[in-house]
Amino acid sequence: MNDKRNDSERTFAAIRRGKIKPGTAEEFAVRVKAGALPVMKKMEGFKAYFLVAGADDTIIAVSLFTNKATAETSTQTLMPWIKENLGPLLASPTEAIDGEVVVSDLA
């Protein structure tokens, strides 16, 4: 998307969606908060992180960054940790979506 915003005003999202084993949402959240989140907070341009436990054991992670390259490579950076710590809780591989946030409004 081409617009007149400078890079410091842009936000990029790394969204991951997957299925977890039934009854593991709380443990998944505990592991993410203790392990992945501290690593993400040190990544260049880290802005925010949201973990959503949806219906039917769906888990959605939204990471926001000011740096496009970091957003695009955040999963690869964390992959060894994800495989070791979250892999046993996943029921299927995760789907990855990366892109620029074009509308946002946080109250």
CATH code: domain of residue 69? 3.30.70.100
Q: What are phi and psi of 67, to 5 degrees?
A: -115, 115
Residue-number span of the structural domain to which 41 is assigned = 10-98
Q: How many domains does the chain have?
A: 1
Length of the chain: 107
Cβ–Cβ contacts within 10 Å for residue 6, how many?
Answer: 7
Over its length of 107 residues, how does the chain's per-residue pLDDT go in tens digits? 455 555 568 999 999 999 999 999 999 999 999 999 999 999 999 999 999 999 999 999 999 999 999 999 998 899 999 999 999 999 999 999 999 999 999 88
- Residue 107 located in a structural domain: no
The answer to the question of residue 68 being in a domain is yes
Would residue 1 count as lying in a domain? Answer: no
Kindly state the DSSP code that residue 32 receives in the 8-state scheme.
Answer: I
- Predicted TM-score of the model (pTM): 0.87
Q: What residue type is 50 in one-letter code?
A: F
Say if 53 falls within a structural domain: yes
> What whole-number distance in Å separates Cα of residue 68 and Cα of residue 83?
24
Q: Is residue 76 part of a domain?
A: yes
